[in-house]
Structures are given as C-alpha cells and as structure tokens.
Amino acid sequence: MSQTGNVMELREDDIRKHYASALAMLQGFDHAPRVAKAEAKTQERSSGIGTRRAFRSTTPGLVTRRTARAQGVQVLSAIEDAGDEEGLVSPVQAAVQSGLRRAIAIAEAVGEQFGERTGLADLKRANLAGSLGADKKAAFSELLTAEALAVLYTFANATAYLLASHAGEETVEIGDVEEVLTENAQLALHGALWELDQDIEAFGAGEPKLVATVLAFSEALMAKVAARAETAGRLEPFRDASWKVEADGLVIDGFTPAHQAKGTKITMQFKKPNEVVGNHIAKYQAMRLAKMLMAYDFDKRLNPFAELGGFIFTFMGDGAPGTGKTTLIQMMAGLINEYCQVAGYTFRYQNLSTDNIDSYQGKSGQNARAFINTIIEPNVIGFGTVDDIDQLAGKRGDRQSSAGQLEITAVLMDAFAGANTVVRGNCTFGMFSNYPENVDDALRQRAGARFLVDGPQTRDDYIDILHLLMGKNHSIPLGDHELMAAQEIKKAVAASFDGHGKPHELGLLNVWDRVSSAHGELNTIAKLGTYLKGIQEADPRFTGRAIKNITDAVKVRAMDFELPDEWVATPEPFIAKDYDTKKAMIEELRVPITIDMVIQEINRYADSEFRYADKSDEVAIDNAVRDMGRMDEAKRRYLASKT
C-alpha cells in the first residue's frame, strides 16, 4: 500500500479479489427483513408525511415479479426488469450493474483494511477457532458494528460516485432507508441490497428512473449511516483514514461523501475588479481570497493559508440594497473561475436560495446539507453563497421563522463552525444580507470575516460609477476628474483601514472614549483586553467567538499581501509547486502583526455588531410605534362610529 500525503492507495488487486463475492450477492440471496417491512414504496404523499409505504398488490394478474423468483433478493434481475427493452440489457442498465458490483467490492476491501488496522481480523479468526476469550467479546461486537457502518457507508458512497455520470434530470423521493443492520458487514450489505431491490421495483421503471432511484437510495443510506455513526464507537480508524481508488479517482475519506469532480455550469455574468466601484476593503479581501484558493494542494488536501492562518472560510457581506453585493459575488466568482481555468482545476459554484426551503419536514435541512457537501468536496475548488440569508435562515425564537428556515440555520451553524467542521482551504462561503440584524446572532458570529458592502461613498466614486455605467455610446465630456484614480486598490484600502483607527458607531465610540480616558493609549495586550471587556459589558453578545473572529482577521492582515499576478497567470511559478514549497513562498511574504492592525480589526468587527444591534433595536421600536399608532387610530374610528 503506497501513501501520498495522508491518502493511502486502495490497490486494484485488493478490490478485484472481491468481485466474485460481490457478483454472487447481486445475483441472489435470501433475506428476511428485520427492521423494514416487505412492502412496496410509493411516491404518493400525504399532508405532513414525506413518503409512505403501500402493501403489495394481491390482485390476480398484478402479482409482483418477486413471487416468481427462485431466491429472495436478485438485484441484477431487478435492474434487468426495470429496462425498457424486454430481454435486453441496455448500456445504462449494465453500467448500474457493474457500478454496484464494483461498489460492493470496494466496500469489502475497505472493510478488510479496517479489520487489519483495528485487530478485528484477528478476533474473527479467534472466534472461528472457538478461542475468543470472554474478555474480548464486547470489543469484538463493537468492532463488528463499526466495520458494518464503515462498509455500508463506503458501499453507498462508491455507488453514488460511480453512477453520478449517468444521472439525468429525473429525481425520485424514496423516503427513509430502514433496513440498516449492523451485526456484521455481510448482513449489513444484505439488508441494504434487500431495500435497494425494493426501491428499484417501486420506483425504477425505465432507465432514467432506475439511475435516479439508485442514486437517491445511496444518498439516503449515507445520511442514515452517518447519523448512526455519530453514537457508535471504535470508528476512528475509518474516520481518520483516506483511501484512494486510482482507477476511478475515488477517495474514501471517512464519512465524507465523495463526488465526481465535475464543475457546475455557471451562467452568471462575471465582473472584472475595475467594474466594482467603492467597497474597497470588501473588494480587496475578495480578490485576495480568490488567489488564496489557488494555493490549495490536492495531494495533501490542505491549503498553506489554512495552516499558517489567514484563510477566510466564511464571511458576511452586508449593506443596503443596491450597494453592490451581487456585483461583488460576480467579481469573485469570475476571478476564481479564471484562475481555475489556468490551473486546470475544477471550479464549483452554488448559491443557496429561498427555493431550497421546502414544506416537507427535514427536506430543507437536506437541501442545505447537499449545498454544503457540494462546495466542500476536497477534489474541487468551491465557492458557495447564501444570498439574502436573513430570509433563508430562520432566527431562533422568532415565531415568524418557519420549520424549514430553522432547519437551514441548524445545518449552516454546524457546517460553518461545528464540532466536525474541517477547514481544508479549498472552498469559501459568503453570506450576504441587506438586513444582517435579522440573522440569528449565533449564525452571524460564525462568519469569520465581515465585508461591509456600502457602495460608492465619495464624489470621485459617484463620478467613476456614472462614467462606467453610461458606457461608450455618448460624447459627454468627463470634466475635471482623474478617472478611476480613487479606485486604485492599495491606496483606497489603506485609507479604509486607517479609518477604523477609531470606532464609527456611537455606542462603541462611548466605550472607546471611556477606556482610553481611564487607561491612556491602547498599546498593550492588557489595555486591548480591557477594551474588549468594555465592549462585552456594553453588548453581552460580544462573546469569545467574537474574539476568535477578530484574531483570525488579524492573522489575515498578517497575510496582507496579494499573491503576485504572475504566480496565478500560469501554473509553473506557484500553482504547480508541491505543498511545502508553496508554504515557504507564502511565509516569505508574511508581514508582522502590529498594534494598529489589532485595533482596526477590533473596531471593524465591533462596529458591525453595534450597527446590527442598533438597526435591530430601531426596527423593533419603529414596529412598536407603528402598532401603537394603528391601535390609536382604530380606537378613534371605533369611538367615532358610536357617536
């Protein structure tokens, strides 16, 4: 077994030796369901229920093919029966059969590796020989369960990966996977294949629906097994290991879904940096972040910026309507797409929108999780956006938030800073809102960086944007103005950062004045800590997570440089280098942290929190005043109607 970085090779010989047993399993075996019922599934829905099962028909002439089988479960026959041509197996049917056989073989090979790594193989041999000691029976049982979960997840993961290229526009709702058995790996596969056989019979008529059914089953099985694995023990050897199947390009990475490294078709109109007027800090950080993503190393599955500090995994862009949030997204996506084309990397962009809120319980959360998994896939460069997040993610405790919105909030909170969050540095997520004060406080604080998108501000900005949007079909003279001089990025950004040497929001400015008067210039860690404590006393929501976000932003400032353009213009100068070389090149550009940087980042972050709080309070007050006015008017009209 060879190892590249932290990914081990799963040898082809180790997979193919399981082909015979995998084929025999697909050809037929007997299985009496233990958890699920031998009933057909139906796509019919009833109010409040995602899917339900219906009993098999017993009407003469409508007997299912199962009763005519010599053996109970024959998945190969089920696939053949699902085809459009009787007696002939189409290329798509053959691909499904072949994909399932290979997926089972891969899963069994991984199970074998798991057994060797954990000592389970020795315990199995001792059990067969009747020499397993009583003191080892508990460990034996736990390891068998862990192996079953690892094999089941790998089978579903490999199936979804291998058949992804055959997916069409058809989708199928199969409901929950029930026959998840964990006594041992073989029984686990039997239970899964029994249920897959049921689903193919119920939903898989015709090639498009056949593929959609198998893929839907695989996704549902992965979700069920991953949830079960959260409370199971002895899974660390599987969770912490990565195996690569070279022939397929498949990487088995614990309970992380593998996806074919295919980019999404992007139809947006990209913008160039010179088409973004104002928003200097947001524009600058977006440009830097786009280049940072190009430092990602696909062999090591890590970005030097994520290791050294300074990588922005999540950020919040807020501003009034019409200030340029969409333009900023178009610019950043365009830059990443351009750099990926140069590097030969797969770029994947996706936006989570209000279309993903579903009335069926659990579906909104599934949509959000699918969005996250699509972007974090380690084999691609990803950029995910959540536009109008105040409408999409519910605020906990707000009675107007729907169940679907709250599901999305829970998924995003876990994905952006949960216990299982791993920041590799291959992707970034941007949350955008016109009304960030309406975003759940805990979710908003999971945004590691803040991009204030305030649009054009100065006279020069307004002249520049007018000239830009007017186009060239006119002869109006420019006048006394140096076009785009105010948009020179380094000069504009330096001025913007300097502007945060003191707070902007009145509430924060009062804290600054009070602490400065008592302790003098804030030039030590102790004084800065006192300032932070003063902010917390003024706003209790200013917690330890806020301090982490501030220090992360300071580390970003320590990386306050753009990768030279020539480093991303062609692969050779930087992109094609190995991980250690990239890391050394980046370290040479790193600048020391200064007290000014820390103060500016404290004020930038705290200003945004005070701004959100003030807006939220003002909105609440305005609504209360409006309600009181309506009540007074109603009383006046009521009394007038009585006279």
Can you give the CATH number for the domain in which 494 is found? 3.40.50.300
Q: Tell me if 153 sits within 8 A of 159, measured CB to CB.
A: no
The pLDDT value recorded for residue 492 is 66
The pLDDT value recorded for residue 262 is 58
Please enumerate in sequence order all residues whose Cβ is within 8 A of that of 530, keeping only pairs 6 or more positions apart, or say none.
Answer: 515, 519
Look at residue 39 and tell me if it is in a domain. yes
The pLDDT value recorded for residue 180 is 95
- Please give the distance of CA 81 from its chain centroid, rounded to a whole number: 37
351 in the same domain as 239: no
pLDDT tens digits, one per residue of 389-421: 998 998 888 888 888 899 999 999 999 987 778
The pLDDT value recorded for residue 218 is 94
289 in the same domain as 208: no
578 in the same domain as 464: yes
Half-sphere exposure of 333 (CA within 13 A, CB side): 24
Q: Tell me if 430 sits within 8 A of 384, measured CB to CB.
A: yes
- Token pair in block for residue 389: 């997040």
199 in the same domain as 110: yes
228 in the same domain as 340: no
Look at residue 122 and tell me if it is in a domain. yes
Please enumerate in sequence order all residues whose Cβ is within 8 A of that of 29, keeping only pairs 6 or more positions apart, or say none.
Answer: 71, 72, 73, 190, 193
Sole residue written with tokens 């997979």: 15
Into how many domains does the chain fold?
Answer: 2
CA distance 490 to 180: 58
277 in the same domain as 161: no
Q: Tell me if 555 sits within 8 A of 598, measured CB to CB.
A: no
72 in the same domain as 118: yes
459 in the same domain as 356: yes
376 in the same domain as 243: no
Helix, strand, or coil (residue 434)? coil
CA distance 191 to 200: 14
The pLDDT value recorded for residue 86 is 63
Give the residue ranges of the chain where pLDDT is below 50.
1-5, 40, 42-70
Please enumerate in sequence order all residues whose Cβ is within 8 A of that of 123, keeping only pairs 6 or more positions apart, or say none.
Answer: 132, 136, 139, 140, 143
Look at residue 50 and tell me if it is in a domain. no
291 in the same domain as 150: no
Look at residue 268 and tell me if it is in a domain. no
In the 8-state DSSP scheme, what is residue 46?
A: B
Q: What is the Cα gyration radius of the chain?
A: 29
The pLDDT value recorded for residue 489 is 64
431 in the same domain as 317: yes
The pLDDT value recorded for residue 50 is 34
351 in the same domain as 221: no
Look at residue 628 and tell me if it is in a domain. no
Q: Is the pTM of this model over 0.75?
A: no
Look at residue 159 and tell me if it is in a domain. yes
Residue range(s) defining the domain that contains residue 536 = 273-620
Look at residue 440 and tell me if it is in a domain. yes
Look at residue 239 and tell me if it is in a domain. yes
